[in-house]
Amino acid sequence: MRYSLQSPDALFGPDTGCDVFEQRLLRFDGVSDERGDDESDEVIYVLSGSGAVSFGGEPTAVAVGSAAYVARGTAWRVERADDLVLLSVLVRDPLPPDGRTHVVLDGVDELQSATAGREFQLLATPAVGLCLPAGAARALPRERRTRRDARTRRLSPRRFAGRGVLPGWNAGAILMPRIERTAAITWDGNLARGQGTLSGASGAFSDLSYSLPTRIGQPEGKTSPEELLAAAHGGCLTMSLAGELTAAETPPGRIDATCRIVMDEVPGQGHQIVGSHVELVVTADGAGDAGLRDALAKADEGCPFSALLRRAGAEVRSSARLS
């Protein structure tokens, strides 16, 4: 069998407090044995790679953005895999007796018929992460639903806040197995008088100017690697804190943050990033000073940029106060 679990345990399931879903990450590099579950329906998301999967004997090409709903008792297997990574979610709601065996979606975000008693909607994709359909009401912590039907369910925000912004594989939740982002950089001229531009492949920013004089002196409307690092660290820690406050059932209404990156001369090492100082102002109903301090400590521990800077020897400090 040429597939493997990312972790030996379910990422999300009964052992983590959920009796409705069970989540596993599967990696394939070739043909797999036949799979299926006689007791649970299964939703399969393609997180990365491509290949061909046979559902109920029907071969289907899949790629990033594809998803499949497979009814219990329906066999499936991977026929071809090119670095194929699948997120398998077992759904334990009962299947109507006349339900369809499966439905395959390819990047759509509209409700689709999946079985006679439910609808299937792709709410999590590699491109957008977790999202809710337009106009959908978000459930507040401890909010009780009036009834439990067989429609697509949304996961509580707490399940995505096990630690920081990106929980570990065993934290009981998963957003993405890996994140990759790309920037394009140009530089014209020598170091002293030249200048460059920075652009994000996402299109969120383009042609941001930077130069040595404005990097070490007055910015004059130009950015610098240090300013972008400040935005990255501050943004990551802010998201991480939002997750921890939500997990504590005191979700924030707003967080304002400033981050100051410090570069200085280090004897024998030249100029190095020596510090990152983040200050946050939080509006969160029900949150107290002690709870905020605890959430910030957990958020800092779970922030990948905090960890990266500390490993590089920088002093990382963060503080938060309620507005």
| Helical packing angle, 225-247 and 304-311, nearest 10° | 130
Q: What is the pTM of this model?
A: 0.52
**Cα separation, 230 vs 65, whole angstroms:** 32
Residue environment code for 171-187, b if the CB has 16+ CB neighbours within 10 A, otherwise e: bbbbeeeeeeeeeeeee
pLDDT tens track for 228-261: 999 999 999 999 999 999 999 999 999 999 999 9
Banded pLDDT at 46 (limits 50, 70, 90): confident
Tell me the two tokens of residue 123: 């709410």
Strand pairing partners for 96?
A: none
Banded pLDDT at 189 (limits 50, 70, 90): very high
Q: How many Cα atoms sit within 13 Å of 260 on the Cβ side?
A: 8
**Cα separation, 48 vs 73, whole angstroms:** 26
**Cα separation, 320 vs 280, whole angstroms:** 4
Q: Is the model's pLDDT at 23 over the cut of 90?
A: no
pLDDT tens track for 190-232: 999 999 999 999 999 999 999 999 999 999 999 999 999 999 9
Tell me the two tokens of residue 150: 């067989």
Tell me the two tokens of residue 37: 């579950």
Banded pLDDT at 92 (limits 50, 70, 90): low
Q: Would you state the pLDDT for residue 57?
A: 80
Q: Which amino acid is at 17?
A: G
**Cα separation, 61 vs 59, whole angstroms:** 7
In contact, 235 and 249? CB cutoff 8 Å: no
Tell me the two tokens of residue 293: 């301090």
Q: Would you state the pLDDT for residue 140?
A: 32
From the number of C-beta atoms within 10 Å of its C-beta (0-12, 13-18, 19+), residue 300 rates as: buried
Q: Is the model's pLDDT at 179 over the cut of 70?
A: yes
In contact, 221 and 229? CB cutoff 8 Å: no
